A and B are shown apart, each in its own frame.
Chain A
Amino acid sequence: MHPAYSVIFFTTATGAGYGLIALLGLLAAFGLVQPDLWFGFTSFGLASCLIAAGLLSSTGHLGHPERAWRAFSQWRSSWLSREGVAAVLTFVPIGLLVLGWVVLGRSGGWVAAVGILTALCAAITVSSTAMIYASLKPIAQWHSRFTLPGYLLYSATSGLVLLSAIMQAFGRPSAAWMIAAILFTLASWGWKLATWRHNDGAGMAADLNSATGLAGGTVRSVEWPHTEQNYLMKEMGFRVARKHQQKLRTIVQLAAFALPAGLLLIDLLFGGGISTLLASLAVVSQLSGLLVERWLFFAEAKHTITLYYGLA
């Protein structure tokens, strides 16, 4: 699949944003952090910015962004619609949470409830995003049991790493959260490796025999219907060179997982004066790594249409 930058940015940014929001919701709900105006504003602000920028960027690849509002209508069947609805609905508990926890400085009671609701809504939104891809049968690499957990995991992980950095910045380092961030990062890494292993074996959702109804033997494309590239091939026929792919996978592992985990570990053990810097570096590294991961998520996905063009 063609890796469109708007979508790559969208899924990565909203993933991190919702991850962070969900965590903030949980922090608030369970009183793990005391309400604080500036911490609240910064953390919620950052999360909301990530979400808003992501959502905005997602409209960037629309042919008719001005009609984006129509996308809310088909929640009964469409994961994309559900995602839109969930994304918007999530702003309601977020707003209440910000009001209660950040502005009014309350915790417990209804604030705790909206905290949990926020986390739930964020999880639903991220799940919906994941399901947009996971529900697409023509793409074996997406239509797999790895997609949904992956999205949730990377979202939680990037949220945690972000949270750790913010906590550091506000001088409230928490070993527990940092350990959690490290563990989630490592878990994400493992999941990604497992996903890749699965995907490499997954191949295509069908073969050219069944795609053409020509049973038996091998079927090879000898002429395309048109000699130049068309929409289908540009959008669905994207292929990443094997060498390139290996390099990018290494980058993902280093930037998204190894480096952030390492930085956080150093931070945890010997943070001292540069701990905020270390945690911030972990964020930057991870988010960049995840952008590459997301690029590969698209680039490595093989659509059945490529069968028809002999590109599979």
Chain B
Amino acid sequence: METSPYIADRVAKTTCYMCACRCGIDVHIRDGKVRYINGNKDHPVNRGVLCGKGSAGIMQHYSPARLRKPLLRSGPRGSGEFREIEWEEALGIATERLARIRHTDPKKLAFFTGRDQSQSLTGWWATKFGTPNFAAHGGFCSVNMAAAGLYTVGGAFWEFGEPDWDRTKYFLLFGVAEDHDSNPIKIGLGKLKARGAKIVSVNPCRTGYNAIADEWIGIRPGTDGLFVLALIHELLRAGRVDIEYLVRYTNAHLLVIQNPGAADDGLFVRDAEGHPLCWDKSANAPARGDASTETPALSGEFEIGGRRCVPAFQLLAQRYLDESYSPDAVAEKCGVPAETIRRTAAELAHVAFEQAIELPVAWTDTAGRRHATMKGRPIAMHAMRGISAHSNGFHTCRAIHLLQVLLGTVDVPGGWRYKPPFPKPVPPGAKPAGKDGGKPDTPLSGSPLGFVTAPEDLLIGDDGKPVRIDKAYSWDAPLAAHGMMHTVIRNATRGDPYHIDTLFMYMANMAWNSSMNTAETMSMLTEKDNDGNYKIPFIIYSDAYYSETVPFADLVLPDTTYLERHDCISLLDRPISHADGPGDAIRHPVVQPDRDVRPFQSVLIDLGARLKLPGFVNEDGTAKYKDYADYIVNHERSPGIGPLAGWRGVFGEKHGRGERNPSQLQRYIENGGFWHHEFDVDQRYYKMANKSYLEAAVGMGFIAKAEPIRFELYSETLQRFRLAGQGHGAVVPPPSQRKRIEAHFDPLPIWYPPFEEAAIVERDYPLHALTQRPMHMYHSWGSQNAWLRQITSQNRLFVHHRLAAKLGFADDDWVWVESVNGRVKGQIRLVDGVEENTVWTWNAIGKRNGSWALKENAAEHTRGFLLNHAIGDLLPPDETGRRYSNSDPVTGQAAWFDLRVRIRKCMPEEAGFTSPQFKKLPLPPGISPSPSKLSFGAQFKQKVLAR
């Protein structure tokens, strides 16, 4: 037999986009077809490995559900009836409409993008258009994690940091099934296993990563905050915290004014220049808290300028030493034995302080102190949506950061590390722009998304009403740093706060799996006013595939697949850095589209030029950029800083900052599609206070000044909002919202029961219901993939054996999952590996009949179910009758996992198929019915013989 068959004519190196992890891939191409895709061994993200999705990229690329040509709605909205139009007509329609909006009231354009990786372009476009109504999907994704991190340690979990996989000895994983750092986490777990480090998983479900943990703590959903604060209680009780670290890198020593009832209560004492103060014990006098005082007081009561004050640490310790945070007090609520909590705390203390490590690397901190070594406390943590997708997630995430910091484990050897460009100042500097709601034909003063630090920064009108359609940065969600895409459709339909003209969406399946209350969302999208006009007058949508959202668009702009276009994975956006150094990457067309589709970013740039948006046109009004590739190379956000950091300068000799380099893309392609810079060894840890690192970071344009980044354990920002909630200050919430603000803007992490749980009668809905991401599926994209859908085309509801026995259920029974919001039907599977009062299922397997070019009997819509039908987008009414969005009160993060349900066995005749069902969608024109057989690869085999 032939053991050396010919493989491919060429190997193109680009970046995967089967998910947001963005691994480097080698695409083997033969006769213009993709023969095989494997991992790029040199790539810093995946180092040669791939995941289940990435390895099925061929079927994503050749999906029968690919859109083929621009579509204009021809039937009623939602019917899926379209006619194909030419690009010129499509762009003409869009330009005309958008120009009119921009000329009259730019905020009437709501531009929301989903899971894309070009937010620095889309955000910039929105800024130039002049609408504040822009955001990406972060609000329903994990803004709790981003905001809690950025407001606490200047970095975040998500893919902005990573455990020190090579050195950590103890890894605590909270609420993660897969996450964005898909392959890095798996590679890391493999390393931990090889080194025998201990992996502890805190998760109601024991699957995937959690299945291989050395210890699984099957916590009750929504109670991690209590669990973590109990760990903190134990550590404080035993005095096992890293005091030196706290003093050097946090604000634990800052003095907090104690003046209950007054407008300055809880704020830091500041000197005349506004510098916060601490108490210097050796001088026995106040001192600047942001300088390097070696001996600040962490306890005691002081009086400065007639004001009583105490160090923040004292407040912190007093709070968590309280018996209400003891393991015994929280054990039952968390469903975790007190003994386990005590042991975990003891293990953390043991590893942090008795198993500390030291790297023989000398470094200098920002105070000018020279350290002969880098000390490390080898405990790393990671957390994601199990924490964030609860209405108490912001505080829970802050509690985890607090735990990390008390143990001295942030950006130290063996700890959790920042990926550059993080850390950033706490919080990052930019404030959200668009407070005036946008002016005709005028760009915003800055990006619509940013970080508020005081009520004055909110995007609210003088009447206190939200400026933004999604109510981000209003009293509903003051720290909504990622916007609240999940509220847009309801708010726009209701005209609350106002009606819009056009909803422009990109890459978000909002009519299905990324909305809560899916059925109602679909009906809102088609709702008409008394005159018979759609309440959302016009919807433009860009998708690459025939998703459930496409039929709700009036104008569909078909995108390319990830192998057919340029993309830029930029440091200005969500880069692919490694803790050892920054990195970015590109995609470039490795195969040519066989359809009349255009890369969305190029289309957006084209639209920008047609609308003559500043920045998109030259002085003579001609288009500034030919397409996205041109933009990537030639756009500069600030002098020397562009979308790509690699090979800048005329000769490609500069990194980070530098002049434009016309052959930059070529250099990327030659390097395998990515750029990666390794910092010097002395720059790799303690980045928050590492002089050499911070200077390098300034040089690269990551931060403005090489100043130390102090962790805000005590958040003055939150206290400012709390004071507003108490009625202090110029900008205060309306009376009906004050209690909510006061309660949830605590300057120290708190725990409160998730909102839905608090609002329902627990006896009626005794169970928690969750979803988890299957590692081999990316949200809704996976089901069009002939290979991935074979692995899972029907999801089960996983139920604990004992719960099933109690309810009289048998394996494979069909059940109704009922919540206050709705119900959905599915088939159960009995397991042991789940918290007993929790049921869960795989996310986004259920599909709508006819979508994704799936055929009549596809299990995705006959037996697969979408839990979203039971998840509410609104909370039950509060005492004033007001229904808030089902979100975190601080950040506006959608609380997907607060869902409470009961399950009931189906009637025999109800078994065997899922519910609710929706009208079957027709295939759009131009898309042929999917084949009934695939013999992909047969063509390559015949060639072997021929050659």
Contacts and interface: CB of A to CB of B under 8 A. Distances in A.
Chains A and B touch each other in the complex, with CB atoms below 8 Å apart: yes
Interface of A: 222-223, 225-228
Interface string B777-792: 0000000000000111
Contacts of A225: 791
Contact of A228 (B798, B833, B859): B859
B793 interface: yes
15 contacts: A222-B798, A222-B829, A222-B833, A223-B796, A223-B829, A226-B791, A226-B792, A227-B790, A227-B792, A227-B793, A227-B794, A227-B859, A228-B790, A228-B794, A228-B859
Given A222-B831, A227-B794, A227-B859, 10 more contacts: A222-B833, A223-B796, A226-B790, A226-B792, A227-B790, A227-B791, A228-B790, A228-B793, A228-B794, A228-B859
Chain B: number of interface residues, binned into ranges: 10 to 19
Contacts of A228: 790, 793-794, 859
Interface string B808-831: 000000000000000000000101
Contacts of B859: 227-228
Contacts of B796: 223
A222 B792 CA distance: 13
Interface in B280-330: none
Nearest to B794: A227
Interface string B535-548: 00000000000000
Closest 4 CB pairs of A and B: A227-B794, A226-B790, A227-B793, A222-B831
Nearest to B830: A222
A228 B831 CA distance: 20
A226 B792 CA distance: 6
Contacts of B793: 227-228
Nearest to A225: B791
Nearest to B863: A227
Contacts of A223: 796, 829
A208 to B, nearest CB: 15
Contacts of B792: 226-227
B375 to A, nearest CB: 42
A292 to B, nearest CB: 29
Nearest to B864: A227
Nearest to B860: A227
B569 to A, nearest CB: 32
Give the interface centre of A222, A227, A228 by most chain B CB atoms within 10 Å. Answer: A227
Contacts of A227: 790-794, 859
Interface in B859-908: 859
Interface string B710-754: 000000000000000000000000000000000000000000000
A225 B792 CA distance: 8
Nearest to B833: A222
A226 B793 CA distance: 8
A227 B842 CA distance: 13
A226 B788 CA distance: 9
Contacts of B794: 227-228
A246 to B, nearest CB: 22
A232 to B, nearest CB: 13
A228 B859 CA distance: 9
Give the interface centre of B792, B796, B798, B829 by most chain A CB atoms within 10 Å. Answer: B792
A111 to B, nearest CB: 51
Nearest to A222: B831
A223 B833 CA distance: 13
Contacts of B791: 225-227
A228 B794 CA distance: 8
A228 B798 CA distance: 18
Nearest to A227: B794
B912 to A, nearest CB: 15
Interface in B823-859: 829, 831, 833, 859
B130 to A, nearest CB: 49
B224 to A, nearest CB: 25
Interface string B127-143: 00000000000000000
A45 B486 CA distance: 79
Contacts of B790: 226-228
A222 B811 CA distance: 10
A228 B791 CA distance: 8
B878 to A, nearest CB: 41
Contacts of B833: 222
Contacts of A226: 790-792
Interface string B579-597: 0000000000000000000
Contacts of A222: 798, 829, 831, 833
A227 B798 CA distance: 14
B243 to A, nearest CB: 47
A139 B791 CA distance: 27
A225 B787 CA distance: 12
A223 B795 CA distance: 10
Contacts of B831: 222
B626 to A, nearest CB: 46
B460 to A, nearest CB: 49
Nearest to A226: B790
Contacts of B798: 222
A226 B798 CA distance: 16
A226 B787 CA distance: 10
B632 to A, nearest CB: 40
A4 to B, nearest CB: 22
Nearest to B774: A223
A211 to B, nearest CB: 19
A71 B790 CA distance: 34
Nearest to A310: B811
A226 B791 CA distance: 4
A222 B833 CA distance: 10
Interface in B125-168: none
A220 to B, nearest CB: 8
A225 B791 CA distance: 6
A184 B453 CA distance: 96
Nearest to A230: B790
B37 to A, nearest CB: 21
A272 B927 CA distance: 75
Nearest to A221: B829
A312 to B, nearest CB: 15
B826 to A, nearest CB: 13
A228 B790 CA distance: 7
B204 to A, nearest CB: 16
Contacts of B829: 222-223
A222 to B, nearest CB: 5
A223 B208 CA distance: 12
Interface in B9-39: none
B53 to A, nearest CB: 16
Interface string B343-377: 00000000000000000000000000000000000
B808 to A, nearest CB: 20
